[in-house]
């Protein structure tokens, strides 16, 4: 299954009350009382999951919950209206010991216009079975248009965003390289409502406010 986070194929915080002002006004609403329900479709079939947002002292955590599986939290910090993912994926099952990031995952509100492009880079270090593991994961984003999109939750005026990226990793002496891409439809004050990849996709089924 592929949740609404970039799929890394083979790679792949108990919050206090947030200073919500550092995150408010962006593409994602800071509403811990809302519940987003998504349908994920890939070669293994169809799966449904929920996403809930909780506020932290520096940002927020989105927790994805699928029946019968462990929950999957993804934490962000907010800086000047931009949102930055600070949750490290695994590198071939290695224990991550260091994560540094540059760029942003979701830019500040003033940047949302057709043609705007940005990137986000994660540098990771870890250990597995006594061996060192390193990875650089690069995400490149571009807003291609503003358009209507219809999903089971309704019809929305969305930003269409193209994302491409690559993984350049090494676990011991084993190099791992991977490219990935997807198209996202993102609605202000709601967030991602649709993701389309080559062989999978996710759609917003409902939003309980």
Asked whether residue 6 is assigned to any structural domain, the reply reads no
Task: Write the CATH number for 77.
Answer: 2.40.360
Q: Which residues pair with 204 in a beta bridge?
A: 38
Asked whether residue 33 is assigned to any structural domain, the reply reads yes
What is the distance between the alpha carbons of residues 128 and 93, in angstroms, rounded to a whole number?
Answer: 7
Q: Which domain holds residue 83?
A: 20-208
Asked whether residue 4 is assigned to any structural domain, the reply reads no
One pLDDT digit (tens) per residue for the chain, 209 residues? 445 444 443 333 333 333 445 787 778 999 999 999 999 999 999 999 999 999 988 899 999 999 999 999 999 999 988 999 999 887 777 788 999 999 999 999 999 999 999 999 999 998 888 888 899 999 999 999 999 999 999 999 999 999 999 999 888 888 989 999 999 999 999 999 999 999 999 999 999 99
Asked whether residue 169 is assigned to any structural domain, the reply reads yes
Question: What is the total count of domains within the chain?
Answer: 1
Asked whether residue 3 is assigned to any structural domain, the reply reads no
Contact status, residue 117 vs residue 142, Cβ threshold 8 Å? yes
């Amino acid at each position: 299954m592929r949740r609404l986070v970039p799929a890394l194929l083979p790679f792949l915080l108990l919050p206090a009350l947030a200073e919500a002002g550092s995150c408010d006004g962006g593409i994602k609403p800071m509403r811990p009382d809302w519940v987003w329900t998504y349908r994920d479709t890939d070669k293994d079939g169809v799966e449904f999951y929920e996403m809930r947002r909780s506020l932290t002292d520096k940002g927020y955590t989105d927790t994805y919950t699928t029946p019968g599986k462990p929950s999957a939290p993804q934490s962000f910090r907010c800086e000047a209206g931009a949102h930055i993912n600070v949750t490290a994926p695994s590198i071939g099952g290695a224990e991550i010991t260091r994560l540094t990031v540059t760029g942003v995952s979701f830019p500040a509100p003033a940047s949302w216009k057709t043609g705007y492009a940005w990137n986000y880079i994660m540098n990771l270090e870890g250990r597995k079975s006594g061996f060192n593991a390193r990875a650089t994961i690069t995400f490149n984003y571009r807003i291609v248009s503003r358009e209507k999109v219809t999903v089971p939750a309704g019809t929305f005026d969305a930003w269409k965003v193209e994302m491409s990226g690559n993984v350049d990793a090494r676990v011991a002496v084993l190099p791992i390289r991977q490219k990935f891409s997807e198209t996202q439809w993102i609605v202000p004050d709601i967030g991602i409502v649709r993701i389309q990849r080559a062989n999978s996709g996710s759609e917003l089924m409902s939003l309980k406010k």
